[in-house]
Amino acid sequence: MPRLEKLEGTAWRDLVQAPVAVLVLGKSDCEACRAWSEEIEQFLAQGGEETAGVRFGKIVLDERGLIDFKRANPWIAGLDVLPFTQIWVDGERSKSFAGGGIERLRNRLRSVR
């Protein structure tokens, strides 16, 4: 069963190289970010075909040690709504959306498979 991994340092590199990966970006003082993480964890606990073979991770942008991620992904400087969910396919950015919503996540996962 997949789980939502908290990524630190350079661990994000392995995640985004997976065949399909979901990366959630948030901040430590963002209530909507916490709620979205909890919703994803509940979704993952239920299992299902949408999550099979998908890696899930989250990055808390205001924590230390993420300079490598920020340098490699300058597009995050333009984010103005958190949480932000980015789907990666074979190391390339694919579908994304701001805010939460399991149905939105399901639809995007279906579209990249």
Q: Where are the domains of the chain?
A: 4-112
Q: In what side-by-side order are the strands of the sheet with 54-60?
A: 4-6, 54-60, 20-26, 84-89, 92-98
Torsion of CA 11, 13, 15, 19, to 10 degrees: -160
pLDDT number for residue 49: 83
* pLDDT for residue 27: 96
| Nearest-10 Cα torsion for 71, 17, 65, 109 | 90
Q: pTM of the predicted model, to two decimals?
A: 0.93
User: What pLDDT, on the 0 to 100 scale, is given for residue 20?
Assistant: 97
- For position 42, what pLDDT does the model report? 95
pLDDT score, position 12: 94
Residues of the chain whose pLDDT is less than 70?
A: 1
CATH code of the region 4-112: 3.40.30.10
pLDDT of res. 74: 95
What pLDDT, on the 0 to 100 scale, is given for residue 31?
97
CA count, 13 A, side-chain hemisphere, 47: 1
What pLDDT is stored for residue 26 in this prediction?
A: 97
pLDDT score, position 34: 97
